[in-house]
Structure 1
């Protein structure tokens, strides 16, 4: 990695002496974002998973059955496994032990050749060494060949610590130390690291829930692997422990992910395929030689259809999640559409004159986990989010097509009934899609004959510039009247909605389009809906949800966000959807000194929560300031006059907006499904648990 040592102002005075070369782990410490993405909590979590993934690769190879992750109270992270253990013998070229080599050299490891791992998650050989470079202290213990071998590092440099913890005295020294004897059959690796706070932000931390979610996911993907998580960062409480093991593999994962009642049982599809590719292979002399190799790709798919409308498809390559799909998912989709169309024709559920069903119809209500395992997968980009290995599409399509056709044509009574139910569900989805398309086309023809395609209740702005324009979706006509006076008509548009819109979480596309409020929102934004939504065509740069600061207002925001999440998700992904934050209280000061240039608003203080109100009143009391009693509490936006609404909620100079991100929308959608879905029992349990936490003094009665 080459970098400039200083800015050179004279173009003629620029020579090789101005260049510097960062060797080894220096490059990692100089530019950590290149290797772990960021130096906040996300980057720290990435470091933890680099170490865990090494143990997971041992489990993928069948050498490891248990992984223990411990979040220690001192901020360190420890990962233990019972795999083969990192090699402790000396690597002849470098003269270093295997442990020291993989911990100090970039692109060193057992995943480049053809002998160590047939499938792995780590491909670049930088994981352990990057974590080592970014750690104030890292300890490694390896059980192998009848001994425990230990070595420690400070910021990537091997040596000896004279006490526990990262601040102990340190003496640089290379080489492993045998600390004790163990049985020859006992093998495994233990890695414990303390993040270097010179690199990471002070508040960088590992979220327990994110760790548990991914640990659960990994345990699903590797049947028989036990993953234990222990969090000792619980002050004054017992450490939190949870253990995951799923012998059913992705079949259990599919059932876990499914949000609705089943139409079919979980169908497990497995198979293999061979393909050839030319890859550079490291020969005995250390040279990379292009070689044609025979590869085997293993396919393992679990899927089931449910009564709902949502689609949940998770795809993985060697336990690496591929959220943006790739060639394996393309082959899966193609096989589903082809086979189901053939069966619908043969069972006469589709007539010869009918249009074939499309992917959208087949995926409605489907929950699926698609996994493939292969050596050295080719990904598009560095993030490993999209599989690029072209042969995966053909092999997955063949395996899934063959097994799915066998299920749909089965003569067994139970499977025959389930296959019929699946085909009828897909056919009904196609009919609903065609009906919705016909309705949209009718609406478009109707709009073309009218003078304006926009709803009459829209109060539009004068500016057509996308950068500044804002659309406020306002709850109720009373708030609309005040908002008209409070807005800047140059760039702020208003669209009122009446009460609570349709719950689109459990409604079809056709029902959503029939709802006047939903249709008006989609029409005003002007970028389409669902798979046809084009964020570049949106008429406004921001969409701001402005509802009362009460339970009903929160419910309305949740309904609106669910509409955006299901049918206009690119707006959320682009960070263009916001929630206005109106105040709850107004404090009117009574002893304000009149200063030249002071505004009338200076004697008012707004607070946005009960806790903030109590803090503010306590601070005012300390300063000897008095206020008018009682403090005004707003029950809705309609109680404010235009000046107050502008200053607190609409004027860009003073207001507070909360940007809604996709990860927040997904969490909200899960809670919304719990509280507003078809399942009554989980909702009753939620209400019963939460009843004890209710503050009765906050109920208006």
Structure 2
């Protein structure tokens, strides 16, 4: 029996270095959440957040992130640089302590960082443990210091001339580690550069860095740290990314803080200005502190919590609230978000009670009570708090657990928001009144929807909500093939019934001009018979509950007269779809019919039968007549001018407007949603002054002959 001699290079020193990091490699999910792309991105955030903490402390204003073609990533900053001197308790340099020791770093003593994102002291060391190679360079004291690691163990790589290679031969340090000096730095220049290769023993090959997520996080961070510049560079050439054709570089820098962030996130027209609410509070917590003898002893510590909130309400009904702790995003909320919502709801309820008479709200009716969703509808907010050593639920820091923060945030919101509702300026009073009207309208809509739901539940299984009697439905149940024509007036309906193909074309008449939903509230829209009929017939709901897959028709065609009133009705209908059934527009399933304006009757020669030519504009009419004259063809002088769909007979309407083989449809799109929103607000909104200016400016170019076109 032969025995293998023990590896003499494996010493007790290796055990001390790898003891903690081996646990990270065995249970990576405990530290980074998962080992897919999400975990890979989390490792990158850990390194970037260390640089951002330097910026929060006022020692850094420039961070650069490079995604290299060899799958590695570099994070560089101009902060103070990781300490390179020897830490007395371990006998190791500061660089090695940061990258090899769990729960070690500059965030524990309280002297280096008052508020930071890295709090558990495991970020850099975890990334090091999960990397096949990590290189760190530190510029301090006019020198460039360098150390390299292989899966958490310090040593040296025998790199080829082509550059650093994670697969190169690695020799670990045995007796003592060495922080090499590899060059000179300019006087006064400090900073840290970290480049690492994720270990594919831990992360699968399909786990990749997301450039879009990186852009979102960089933009978000520069909003929260005014003045900080973050530059991103992608050299990978990954298909489907901005750097597909070659290296791409973007820089982000903002100076307006959370107010600019809220304005950037806001998707709709503003009801209020962006309000900036700030304040602070203190609390005491008992924390274990390491004494001189090395024992942990509990001691009371007073903490200060700074609150910074930017918020505004818009005309929409969606809610966009982002919460942060020391610039670390907390997507699942926590005590700070709970405090924000509690303070907001308390102030709104009190304001509604104070103005109950004007708002026509009964304070005695318990059903008419503002709920959280009513107050949050249309709200865009950025909620940030800064405090030393916050308690998170887990290393991924998705939930803030520090309990006293809830009361501090609620108190700040209650104080600052009450002042906004009690504003004495004219503009402040107007904004507060509009906001309360919106919130109460949301409450009434919710109550109406609940009542309707209760009525529906009471129906027995044999009953069903019948469609409007005026709907002329089609026989086909194939959504992809079916079409719904929304027709202006009953006269056009009669002709359209004869002109349609009843197999797949349905008709719904509307009486004149429907409600302008850009001005009206949600409850008024639901009460309007025409709007309600359209929503009921389409069958997919409205607003936030709209379900595109439930729509009963593949195409919605707006068929109105070719005159000013028809154009106005079409605009009103598009406003309804744009605001309450937006996914139909985004999916390209809303169309406008294009009926002809003129009919030319060409006289046949001999036994040859005459023919009809349809034109769709004055220019096309003139051009067609010239062609006929040049060809020597005769036509009747009494050219028919269609002012309404009812003037056509069924054959003419089918041939020109409804038959898929001959018709022309104009697809309605909203590729530029923000521009479209501005146009709808200009033409159909409640603010009269901009619309009046638009009409006056366009009056000079109006062709009076086209008023009835």
Deviates more, 1:292-301 or 1:387-396: 387-396
1:217 Cα offset (Å): 0.7
2:78 counterpart of 1:82:
yes
1:407 Cα offset (Å): 1.8
User: Counterparts in 2 of 1:474-485, with a 5 A limit?
Assistant: 477-479=476-478
Separation in structure 2 between the aligned mates of residue 99 and residue 87 of structure 1, nearest angstrom: 6
2:203 counterpart of 1:200:
yes
Separation in structure 1 between the aligned mates of residue 119 and residue 22 of structure 2, nearest angstrom: 21
Contact preservation (8 Å) 1:309, 1:508: no
Separation in structure 2 between the aligned mates of residue 522 and residue 681 of structure 1, nearest angstrom: 24
2:223 counterpart of 1:220:
yes
Higher relative contact order, chain-length normalized (CA < 8 Å, sep 6+): 2
1:99 Cα offset (Å): 0.5
Q: For structure 2, which runs of at least 5 residues remain unmatched after alignment? A: 1-16, 238-242, 468-473, 482-503, 509-516, 558-576, 584-668, 682-709
Question: What is residue 674 of structure 1 aligned with on the other side?
Answer: 673
- Aligned residue pair count: 504
Separation in structure 2 between the aligned mates of residue 671 and residue 285 of structure 1, nearest angstrom: 69
Question: What is residue 161 of structure 1 aligned with on the other side?
Answer: 157
2:424 counterpart of 1:411:
yes
Per the alignment, in what secondary structure is the counterpart of residue 19 of structure 2?
A: coil
Out of 268, 280, 283, the position equivalent to 1:275 is 283
Out of 290, 313, 316, the position equivalent to 1:305 is 313
1:342 Cα offset (Å): 2.6
Compared with structure 1, are the counterparts of its residues 277 and 550 closer, same or farther at alpha carbon in structure 2 (3 Å cutoff)? same
Question: What is residue 58 of structure 2 aligned with on the other side?
Answer: 62
Question: What is residue 39 of structure 2 aligned with on the other side?
Answer: 43
Deviations 1:494-532 (A, max 9, x none): xx99999xxxx99948868986898899999xxxx989x
User: Counterparts in 2 of 1:394-433, with a 5 A limit?
Assistant: 394-433=407-446
Question: What is residue 458 of structure 2 aligned with on the other side?
Answer: 448
1:378 Cα offset (Å): 2.1
Compared with structure 1, are the counterparts of its residues 546 and 530 closer, same or farther at alpha carbon in structure 2 (3 Å cutoff)? closer
Separation in structure 1 between the aligned mates of residue 146 and residue 318 of structure 2, nearest angstrom: 51
Question: What is residue 295 of structure 2 aligned with on the other side?
Answer: 287
Question: What is residue 234 of structure 2 aligned with on the other side?
Answer: 231
Separation in structure 2 between the aligned mates of residue 498 and residue 327 of structure 1, nearest angstrom: 53
Separation in structure 1 between the aligned mates of residue 452 and residue 550 of structure 2, nearest angstrom: 28
Compared with structure 1, are the counterparts of its residues 456 and 675 closer, same or farther at alpha carbon in structure 2 (3 Å cutoff)? farther
Separation in structure 1 between the aligned mates of residue 463 and residue 108 of structure 2, nearest angstrom: 60
Question: What is residue 188 of structure 1 aligned with on the other side?
Answer: 191
Compared with structure 1, are the counterparts of its residues 382 and 135 closer, same or farther at alpha carbon in structure 2 (3 Å cutoff)? closer
Separation in structure 2 between the aligned mates of residue 212 and residue 237 of structure 1, nearest angstrom: 18
Deviates more, 1:403-412 or 1:76-85: 403-412
Separation in structure 1 between the aligned mates of residue 57 and residue 72 of structure 2, nearest angstrom: 28
TM-score by length of 1: 0.64
Deviations 1:253-289 (A, max 9, x none): 0000001111111110111100111111233333322
User: Counterparts in 2 of 1:325-474, with a 5 A limit?
Assistant: 325-347=333-355, 348-350=357-359, 353-354=362-363, 355-441=368-454, 443-444=455-456, 447-448=457-458, 450-452=460-462
Out of 324, 330, 333, the position equivalent to 1:316 is 324
1:245 Cα offset (Å): 0.8
Contact preservation (8 Å) 2:102, 2:122: yes
Compared with structure 1, are the counterparts of its residues 146 and 382 closer, same or farther at alpha carbon in structure 2 (3 Å cutoff)? closer
Question: What is residue 93 of structure 1 aligned with on the other side?
Answer: 89
Separation in structure 2 between the aligned mates of residue 499 and residue 241 of structure 1, nearest angstrom: 53
1:132 Cα offset (Å): 1.0
Contact preservation (8 Å) 2:321, 2:383: yes
Separation in structure 1 between the aligned mates of residue 582 and residue 260 of structure 2, nearest angstrom: 31
1:220 Cα offset (Å): 0.8
Contact preservation (8 Å) 1:454, 1:523: no
2:99 counterpart of 1:103:
yes
**Max radius of gyration: which structure?**
2
Compared with structure 1, are the counterparts of its residues 71 and 352 closer, same or farther at alpha carbon in structure 2 (3 Å cutoff)? closer
User: Counterparts in 2 of 1:446-525, with a 5 A limit?
Assistant: 447-448=457-458, 450-452=460-462, 477-479=476-478, 508=522
1:370 Cα offset (Å): 0.6
Out of 120, 131, 136, the position equivalent to 1:140 is 136
TM-score by length of 2: 0.63
Compared with structure 1, are the counterparts of its residues 30 and 353 closer, same or farther at alpha carbon in structure 2 (3 Å cutoff)? closer
1:450 Cα offset (Å): 2.9
1:403 Cα offset (Å): 1.3
Separation in structure 2 between the aligned mates of residue 244 and residue 481 of structure 1, nearest angstrom: 44
Contact preservation (8 Å) 2:538, 2:552: no
Question: What is residue 109 of structure 2 aligned with on the other side?
Answer: 113
1:241 Cα offset (Å): 0.8
1:371 Cα offset (Å): 0.6
Deviations 1:165-203 (A, max 9, x none): 212332223220112233452211100011222322123
User: Counterparts in 2 of 1:555-594, with a 5 A limit?
Assistant: none
Contact preservation (8 Å) 2:18, 2:152: no
Q: For structure 1, which runs of at least 5 residues remain unmatched after alignment? A: 1-20, 458-474, 483-495, 532-542, 553-558, 566-669, 683-701
Contact preservation (8 Å) 1:455, 1:520: no
Separation in structure 2 between the aligned mates of residue 389 and residue 374 of structure 1, nearest angstrom: 10
Separation in structure 1 between the aligned mates of residue 343 and residue 505 of structure 2, nearest angstrom: 43
1:70 Cα offset (Å): 0.6
1:156 Cα offset (Å): 1.2
Deviations 1:595-615 (A, max 9, x none): xxxxxxxxxxxxxxxxxxxxx
Contact preservation (8 Å) 1:435, 1:510: no
